[in-house]
Amino acid sequence: MALWSGRFDGTTEESACAFGASLPVDKRLFVQDIAGSRAHAAMLAAQGVISTEDAELIDQGLASILRDIESGSFDFELSDEDIHMAIERALTERIGDAGARLHTGRSRNDQVATDTRLYTKARLKALMDANLALRESLLHKAKQHSSAILPGYTHLQHAQPVLFSHHLLAYYWMLSRDFKRLMSAFECADASPLGAAALAGTSYPLDRSASAEALGFSQVIPNSLDAVSDRDFVADSIYAASLSMVHLSRLCEEIILWSTSEFGFITLSDSYSTGSSIMPQKKNPDFAELIRGKSGRVIGDLIGILTTLKGLPLAYNKDLQEDKEGLFDALDTLEESYRVMAGMVATLTVNENAMELQVKKGFMAATDIADYLAKKGLPFRRAHEIVGALVLLCEQRGCDLEDLSLDDYKEACDLFDADIVDYLNPEALVKARKSFGGTAPDAVSEQLNLALNLQQSQKDQLTALN
């Protein structure tokens, strides 16, 4: 029998019940649901709303239900619409009227909001931990290959040489911003709706601050309508997951390209590769491709929650039942992707020789040669034109800029001297980029120190969370 059946003469059609049930999705909230109920019962007893004896029976009954669900021996019934009703039904069956008093002063509206916030907080903490672990892999790989140089690209064309460590650190900083977004989503979720009841509060003398503190919330939501209808924290969490998946997808795209025969910059470990059922020679970057593909699904979860929320009047509407499936999917997918990516980065082999061969192609000294002329007083736009003509000459001859003679340079512009050869060496080109955030070894070393300091600071932030 449904817990709300007293209002109805008839019963809901069976297929409609199945359609409306959320238990297959929300039963993973059982830990949070039981924690919220235990805190609520203790608060009710402290406020004299229920007896101490009833509160003790409720707590013992809920503890036994938790053990049974964790062991797999709990029987969910077809009539259980959601995890809240399943637990309350079982509790009442086990301890009688005391169990029926648990729901005093609350509604499933504030109950599910509480459960989802508690769940989201726990998962976001796990995600921040996984984020830090992935960034550790990037830092380790960057330090391991601190002198390797690869082509930097714009428009996927050779542009200027950069240190491989500098390239990896770009993803480190992306992921550090993702950590901040996950932390922000955590802070948004860290407010208690419990005690708001259905929408208007309750006439019982509840101590919402006490139950909030017992559950580890840092504050109480001050408006009961907002408390039961707000899902900003869900949207924030999925947005943080979506953007982080975009960053992972970008890194995966580069890993996929770099592992091809055409690039050959890296070799993926067998642990993070698969083969072909028909082509014996294949070693496929399937896991990088899967992360790239899964990013689309998480972005879809974000579109889903925003679309669900956009037309809802206050306060609670059944539409909000649709908030959890996308949330669970987005957070699950990001955590799995972080862990796979961390292992993939940690175990890949960097082929520095292949990078070095490519650095010598594509006229990547062109900008520095133009800067050479500009430093001698020639307007940069004129210098740009002269060097462009030299690149065209190289293409006509089938050579690179380093193959041109000093006479070739002087014919293009009499400001060139013999020291131009110093501007054609990849190591010199990289070393010249000394500006803060640049790719020179000293600048990258400074950047690594900043990253290490941030890493420790964000670890401390995570440790300090309630």
The set of catalytic residues is 155, 276
| Strand 149-154, strand 157-163: pairing | antiparallel
Give residue 96's region: left, alpha or beta (phi > 0; psi -120 to 50).
Answer: left
Phi, psi of 75 (to 5 degrees): -100, 110
Give residue 361's region: left, alpha or beta (phi > 0; psi -120 to 50).
Answer: beta
Cα separation values, 408 from 286, 411, 412, Å: 49, 5, 6
Give residue 362's region: left, alpha or beta (phi > 0; psi -120 to 50).
Answer: left
CA dihedral 291, 294, 299, 305 (to 10 degrees): -130
Q: What is the C-alpha separation between 66 and 230, in angstroms, rounded? A: 28
Q: What is the C-alpha separation between 398 and 388, in angstroms, rounded? A: 15
